[in-house]
Amino acid sequence: MNLCLLMPAIIGLICALLGYILGRATSRGAKNAKEIESLKDKNTSLQTELKECKEKLPSTEEKSISGDKEITETSPTITTASAIAPTPAAEAAFNAELAKSVFGKVITQNDLKIIEGIGPKIAELFNNNGINTWKELADTSIEKCQEVLNSGGDRYKMHNPETWPKQAQLAYEGKWQELFDLQKALDGGK
């Protein structure tokens, strides 16, 4: 076979491949630029909408005149998640150092595995069922705890969650010594 005919064909294929690659790369850049521009437009419209909503809110102080007296009322204008959720002052402050001094290991806030009888898999089961904090577990009935365990299959049905809400309440309240003493008396969470 004649190399003189083969060389131009190979060079042509290489050039075609490089052209294709460069074309794809530049079209992606244009597509990304369009997406960025679209997101900027959306951001601008959302900021405008937010500004309009803020302007529509009544002021937080409303004054009214009643006879000779001026009465100033402060009324909340909006209910936020922070107004509904307990504030840090309302809930027991988590003291990691105190917990560590009692348990002899690092305790992280709302770690369900601190509860005697709950391991990583059971904690994951509870998290998947919307129970993520000590407070949520403390407010959960024993029956609901058992339902969560049953939803995990036969291997979890043997666990007894009878003391889990009480343990979670002690952890939530920061009563580490009481929790530690209770757990020493327990046999596998029972």
What is the tens place of the pLDDT at every residue in 127-160?
A: 999 999 999 999 999 999 999 999 999 898 889 9
Q: Is 113 within 8 Å of 123 (Cβ atoms)?
A: yes
pLDDT of 70: 45
Q: Which of the two residues, 65 and 14, has the higher pLDDT score?
A: 14
Confidence of residue 188 (pLDDT cuts 50, 70, 90): low
Buried b (16+ CB within 10 A) or exposed e, 77-104: eeeeeeeeeeeeeeeeebeeeebeebee
Q: Say how far apart CA 31 and CA 153 lie, in whole Å.
A: 48
> By CB neighbour count within 10 A (0-12 exposed, 13-18 middle, 19+ buried), where does 140 fall?
buried
Q: What is the pLDDT of residues 70-115, one digit of tens each?
A: 444 444 444 444 334 444 433 557 899 999 999 999 999 999 999 9
| Phi-psi domain of 189 (left: phi exceeds 0; alpha: psi -120 through 50; beta: other) | left
pTM to 2 decimals? 0.51
Report, as an integer, the average pLDDT of 162-186: 93
How far apart CA 184 and CA 171 sit, in angstroms, is 15
Mean pLDDT over 20-39 rounds to 74
Radius of gyration of the chain measured on its C-alpha atoms: 32
Strand partners of residue 28 = none
